[in-house]
Amino acid sequence: MSDAYLALEDGRVVEARGRVPGRTRGELVFTTAYTGYEESLTDPSYEEQVLTFSYPLIGNYGVRAERFESDRVHPRAAVAREFTDDVVEWLADEGVPAVDHLDTRDLVTSIREEGAMKVGIVVGEDATPEAAKEELAKCKGMSEHVDIGTQVTTPEPTTYEGDGDKTVTLIDCGAKQSIIDSLVERGATVHVLPYGSTADDVTALDSDVLFISNGPGDPENFGAARELVEEFAGEVPIAGICLGQQIVASALGGTTEKMAFGHRGVNQPVRDLDTGKVIMTTQNHGYTVADPGENLEVTQVNVNDDTAEGLESEALSVITRQYHPEAHPGPHDSLGFFDDVLSMADSEGNGRKRRVVASD
């Protein structure tokens, strides 16, 4: 008899082997990355989701804290064909339910064909299909998590010192540590502010760039960050990554929409419309910019589905990317984005009254 069950929104109940006991629920998504399971599991963008790994063996090079992107595991549960004991011990310490010994290829195919779906999971000696269905019935959609930004943000303002003279104010909507590190490595001092910070908080720092970070969930639920973009657009250079791109677009007259199953993995091809060059990128998002509006220009698109991967406005000094240029894990094709962000601080004649940076 199985000691783990997954009740899917499509009506199926899947049996599995329980590795870490517990009961939970969330949006079932998958990643195609072969490596980087430590980074993925600690990425705040997976908050309120159940992460399925399409690669069959997870944990074959151990677990090292220096690879973590935040201070905890964010998915509500983890699913794989097989987890090593190292990963199981880590997830157990974190109190995150985990299951394996199921056909993840079939699970991933279902998500691709039917879209990301709700799932209820029970793991343990008393696990039953009925209990999994009870969890499923309590599961919210991602758009219903209206306070998700406060769940993943830094508890207090934090400054990371760089050895140069440029400064960035980063609004933490669920930022990965490697985004901050990428800016600091280029000499920038990064002031990380909690989600919900006010325009006065940003103005007080008088930074060169306002950066809106990555993060989980529906961009429509990040009104506080959107208000900051509206306030500082045209006055301070603004940048954004992933959720940050969606927030910036929404603030400047664009619209966003939920994708069927999103982009999650380290092999997403992106074409630059100016040069025609294609780069490989790391991505993790379930929403996208449907229409950038009149203030932003689409500069890069996804080769597979033509969704917007890069937005810019020379007039407003705005640059955003839907993918993760810091690439932890993933290819380093797009690291130059951070140089482009900091170069905005050197531009003259942009008429800014304040100097701030935004991150997704």
What is the three-state SS of 253-289? CCEEEEEEEEEEEEEEEEEECCCCCEEEEEEEEEEEE
H helix runs in the chain, sequence order: 37-41, 85-94, 104-114, 129-137, 148-152, 177-184, 199-205, 223-232, 243-251, 336-343
pLDDT at 151 over 80: yes
324 is catalytic: yes
DSSP bridge pairs for 269: 280
Clarify whether residues 195 and 77 are in a common domain: no
Q: Which of 92, 108, 140 is the last residue of a domain?
A: 140
- Does 287 count as an annotated binding residue? yes
326 is catalytic: yes
Clarify whether residues 217 and 164 are in a common domain: yes
- Does 284 count as an annotated binding residue? yes
- Does 143 count as an annotated binding residue? no
Clarify whether residues 330 and 190 are in a common domain: yes
Nearest residue to 25 (alpha-carbon basis) of 40, 43, 7, 37: 7
Clarify whether residues 158 and 255 are in a common domain: yes
- Does 310 count as an annotated binding residue? no
Catalytic residue among 38, 47, 69, 326: 326
Clarify whether residues 107 and 165 are in a common domain: no
Clarify whether residues 238 and 314 are in a common domain: yes
Q: For the chain, what percent of residues have pLDDT higher than 90?
A: 93
Residue 356: DSSP 8-state: E
pLDDT at 63 over 60: yes
Clarify whether residues 223 and 340 are in a common domain: yes
Domain, as residue range, for 91: 4-140
Domain count, the chain: 2
Kindly indicate the confidence band of residue 347, based on its pLDDT and cuts at 50, 70 and 90: low
Clarify whether residues 207 and 350 are in a common domain: yes
User: Is 182 within 8 Å of 225 (Cβ atoms)?
Assistant: no
Q: Which of 140, 156, 174 is the last residue of a domain?
A: 140
Which tokens is 29 given? 């998504």
242 is catalytic: yes
Mean per-residue pLDDT of the chain: 95
Query: Pairing between strand 308-313 and 209-212?
Result: unpaired
Q: Which of 140, 172, 187 is the last residue of a domain?
A: 140
Nearest residue to 76 (alpha-carbon basis) of 12, 139, 124: 139
What CA–CA distance (Å, rounded) separates 160 from 158? Answer: 7
Clarify whether residues 350 and 205 are in a common domain: yes
**CATH number (domain holding residue 354):** 3.40.50.880
User: Is 329 within 8 Å of 321 (Cβ atoms)?
Assistant: no
**CATH number (domain holding residue 122):** 3.50.30.20
Catalytic residue among 145, 285, 324, 328: 324
For 268, phi then psi, to 5°, come to -85, 120
- Does 262 count as an annotated binding residue? no
pLDDT at 351 over 50: no
Clarify whether residues 206 and 105 are in a common domain: no
Catalytic residue among 242, 285, 309, 328: 242
Kindly indicate the confidence band of residue 329, based on its pLDDT and cuts at 50, 70 and 90: confident
Clarify whether residues 317 and 205 are in a common domain: yes
- Does 124 count as an annotated binding residue? no
Mean pLDDT computed over 162-188: 97
Clarify whether residues 234 and 291 are in a common domain: yes
- Does 300 count as an annotated binding residue? no
Which tokens is 345 given? 């601080």
